[in-house]
Amino acid sequence: MNKTLLAGLMALALAGCASKQPEQPFTLTLAHINDTHSHFDPTDARVTLGNQAVFTRLGGHPRLLGYVNALRQQAARDDQPLLFVHGGDAWQGTGYFKLNRGAMNADVLSRMQLDAMALGNHELDLDNGRLSAFIQSVNFPVLAANLDASQDPDLNGLDNLKPYVLYAFDGNKKKRVESVEDAGKRPVVAVMGLVLEDMANIAPNVGMLRFEREVDSAQRTVRALREQGVKYIVAVTHLGLERDQRLAQKVNGIDVIVGGHSHSLLGDFSNLGWGDGGPYARQFNNPDGIGTTCVVQAGQFAQTMGQVNVTFTLDGRVSRCEGGNTLLSDNVFYRDIRRGDNHRLNEAQQQRVAAAIEAEPNIKMVAEDPALRAHIDKVYLPALTKAYGDVVGHVPLLLKHVRLPVEGSGSRVAPLVAASQLYWVNTPEVQAVTGRRADFALVAAGSVRNSLEPGALKEGNVGLELLPFANPVSLVSLTGRQVTGLLLETINASLPSAAHTGRFPYGAGLRYTFNETSRGRGYLNRIEYLDNGQWQRIEPDTRYQVALTGYHASGNDGWNTLFDSQQAFTDRLDLAFVNGKLTGFPVARLSKNVQGAIEVHYINQPLNCKTAGVACNTDARAFIDYVRERRPVLTALPESGITLNRL
C-alpha cells in the first residue's frame, strides 16, 4: 500500500474517532484591568530585582494594549476563547481627565476593544449627561445589573448600558448574541455587571438613578440567565474585594468575579519588593454547597493586567481557575527615581535587569502599542503639558502615599494635605472671610490620589493629579465625642482584610493612637490636638473647629458621624472662589434624598460648583499656597501623628 493512501486512510480513521469523541470541557481566558483612573501614560515605579532596587515605568494604556494584543494573538493560535474586561473606575486620576472630562477615556478605551466594563463610582463624578455621552461613545457595553436608570432622563433607555451581555464562542471566534437560541450549539458566556448598592453615599452626582442590593440583584440575574440556558456566568463588578468575596459566598451560580474598587493587586509580589497582596483566583463555595466562584482583581492605575484561565465541567461548574497579575514594565531602567540621563543603567546593567525580569513570573517588559502611543501624543499630550502651569515647589525625594499605615509606616502625602488645609484656613486672608480659627484638620486617604515624585511640583501636579476632585475646604465644629466617634468608625471600617481603605483618616494638628484588639476592630487610647504649641487631650464635650473637604464634611464615603451630627443644624462653612473672590457659604443642615444621596442645604446662596465663575477647588489651592509660601522644598513631616498598633 503506498504511503499517500495509507496516510489518507489514517486521516479518515482519526476523523472517525474524533467524531465519536465526547464533548470537551469549556475553557475561558479572561484578561482584566480595573481602576485605571485615566493613567494613559506610564507611571514611575521602583521594583526590586534580586537585591537591587531599580526604577522604571509601569503600564499606561498603550502598554496595556500591547500586552492584551499579545494575549489575543496567543489565544488565536491556540483557538482559545478570550474576553477582555474592565472592572470600572476608568475616570478621574490625572490631568487628562480634568481636561477632557470622559471624552478621552471613551476614545482610548474604544481603541483597546474591550468586551465589557463595569460602571464604577468615579464614572458618576461629573453629571449623568457626560456619563451618557461616554456610554454612547464607547464600542463596548457598560454593565450594571443592579442599576435602575428608568427614571433618569440622561441614562434611561441607553442601548449600551446593560445588565449583562452574551458572547457565543466558536473556538477563539466570538460573537455578541441576544439569546442562547441565537448561538445555536456554540457555548455562551454571560458577562453581568454589578455596581455599589450604596453608590448614592459615595458618588457626588447620581441624578435619578436607583441602586439595588448587590446580592439580591446578582442572584436574580443569575437565575434569569440559567433559565435561558446560559451555562457560564462572569460578573464584572466594582464593589471592592471584600464585597466580591461576600458575593461569592452568598450567591449561587456566578463562576468568576472580576472586580475593582479596592485597588487590590492580588498575588505575591514580595519578589519585586511590592509585598503580598493575597491569593489570586481564590475560590469560594456557594451557599448551595455545590458551586464555587473564583475571585480576581488587578491592582490600579493601568500598571497591571490580570489573566485568569477558567475550565468548566460538562455541566457548567468551575473545575479549575488559575492565573495571575502581571506588572507591565518599560525596558529602560535607572538607579534613581529622578530618571536623569546620568542615572540610567549602562548596557550591561540593563541586560542583567532584563534577564532578572525574564526569570520572574509576575513582571514582563512590554512594548507600547505604537499607534495608540502616537495618537495620545498628538491629540492629547500638548494640552496636558500646557495645563500644568507654574512651578510651586520642588520634591527632593519620593513622598509615597499609602492609604492604610503598614508596619508603622503610613502616607507621607496625606499629612501634608491635611497640614495645607490647616495652614490655609488659618491665614489672615481666609480668617477674614470665616471669622474662625481651625483647631485641626482631617483628610481621608482616598482624597489623595497619588505619591509625589522627585522633581519640580507644578500647579497641575496638584490640581489635576494629587487633588483632582475640586472639593471646597469646609470648617465645621464637632464635639470631642464626635471626633472620637468619627475616628473609630473610619479606622475600624478600614482595617479588615480587603476593606475599602480610602476612608482612613489622616490629620494635622491632631494625633492619636489606635490599638487593634481583634481582627479589624480596636480602640483609641490617646487622642490629642495641638493648642498653642502644646498637645492637649481632646475633651468629650468641648467643641472644636475642624477643617476638611466638603465631600467628607457631608459624611460621604463612610464618614457617617459627620452626617449624623448635621441633620438638624450645623455651623459649617464651605469655602469657594466666586469670580476670583473667596466666599463663605454657610450650611443650615444635611439630609438624604430618596436615592440615599446626601444633600447640603445652605442658609443663603447655595454653593453650585458648576456655575460659571465659581471655583470649588480650594483643597488644591490650599496645598499650592502651603507649598509656595511655607514648604517650597517639600519633604515629609517629621511624624504623621498616627500610631496604629496592629495585631
Q: Which percentage of the chain shows pLDDT scores above 70?
A: 96
Same domain for 363 and 403, yes or no, is no
Express each pLDDT in 114-151 by its tens digit. Answer: 999 999 999 999 999 999 999 999 999 999 999 999 99
Within a domain: 273:
yes
Q: Which of 333, 351, 377 is the last residue of a domain?
A: 377
More confident residue, 340 or 75: 75
22 CB-near residues (< 8 Å, 6+ apart): none
Same domain for 311 and 452, yes or no, is no
Closest CA to 353 of 48, 44, 67, 64: 48
Q: Cα–Cα distances in Å, from 344 out to 19, 331, 332, 375, 451?
A: 59, 11, 8, 27, 22
Q: Is the pLDDT of residue 21 over 80?
A: no
Q: pLDDT confidence of 408, banded at 50, 70, 90?
A: low
Q: pLDDT confidence of 18, banded at 50, 70, 90?
A: very low
Model confidence, pTM: 0.82
Which pLDDT does position 11 carry in this prediction? 42
Alpha helices, DSSP H only, in 229-317?
Answer: 241-250
Same domain for 411 and 372, yes or no, is no
Same domain for 349 and 419, yes or no, is no
Instruction: For residue 601, give the C-alpha cell.
Output: 442645604
Structural domain total, the chain: 2
Same domain for 483 and 355, yes or no, is no
Within a domain: 115:
yes
Q: Across 50-104, where does the E strand assignment appear?
A: 52-58, 82-86
Same domain for 269 and 364, yes or no, is yes
Same domain for 365 and 437, yes or no, is no
Q: pLDDT confidence of 15, banded at 50, 70, 90?
A: very low
Q: Which range has the worst mean pLDDT, 57-71, 332-346, 383-397?
A: 332-346
What's the whole-number mean pLDDT along residues 186-194? Answer: 97
CATH of the domain at 328: 3.60.21.10
Return d(Cα 574, Cα 553) in angstroms, integer: 9
Closest CA to 621 of 580, 561, 567, 570: 580
Within a domain: 8:
no
Which pLDDT does position 540 carry in this prediction? 97
CATH of the domain at 641: 3.90.780.10
Q: Which percentage of the chain shows pLDDT scores above 90?
A: 87
Q: Is the pLDDT of residue 205 over 90?
A: no
Same domain for 86 and 105, yes or no, is yes
Within a domain: 1:
no
Residue-range definition of the domain harbouring residue 555: 388-645
Same domain for 355 and 460, yes or no, is no
Closest CA to 181 of 234, 235, 227: 227
Express each pLDDT in 589-629 by its tens digit. Answer: 999 998 899 999 999 889 999 999 999 999 999 999 999 99
Which pLDDT does position 14 carry in this prediction? 41
What's the whole-number mean pLDDT along residues 21-42? Answer: 90
Which pLDDT does position 85 carry in this prediction? 98
Kindly tell me the burial class for residue 200, based on how many C-beta atoms sit within 10 Å of its own C-beta (0-12, 13-18, 19 or more).
buried
Which pLDDT does position 9 carry in this prediction? 36
Same domain for 356 and 416, yes or no, is no
Return d(Cα 79, Cα 2) in angstroms, integer: 34
Q: Which of 377, 397, 427 is the last residue of a domain?
A: 377
Express each pLDDT in 491-543 by its tens digit. Answer: 999 998 778 899 999 999 999 999 999 988 999 999 999 999 999 999 999 99
Which pLDDT does position 569 carry in this prediction? 94
Same domain for 55 and 173, yes or no, is yes
Strand, coil or helix: 381: helix
Within a domain: 12:
no
Which pLDDT does position 23 carry in this prediction? 66
Strand, coil or helix: 284: strand
Helix (H) or strand (E) holding 224: helix 214-228
Pair type for strands 318-329 and 304-312 = antiparallel
Strand, coil or helix: 587: strand
Same domain for 337 and 417, yes or no, is no
Q: Cα–Cα distances in Å, from 129 out to 92, 163, 466?
A: 16, 20, 26
Closest CA to 467 of 394, 404, 401: 401
Within a domain: 13:
no
Closest CA to 366 of 308, 326, 307, 339: 326
Strand, coil or helix: 526: strand
Within a domain: 14:
no
Sign of CA dihedral 278, 281, 286, 290: negative
Contact call for residues 326 and 364 (beta carbons, < 8 A) = yes
Which pLDDT does position 45 carry in this prediction? 87
Helix (H) or strand (E) holding 180: helix 180-183
Q: Which of 377, 403, 419 is the last residue of a domain?
A: 377
| Mean pLDDT over each residue of the chain, to the nearest integer | 93
Express each pLDDT in 465-477 by its tens digit. Answer: 999 999 999 999 9
Within a domain: 156:
yes
Q: Is the pLDDT of residue 375 over 60?
A: yes
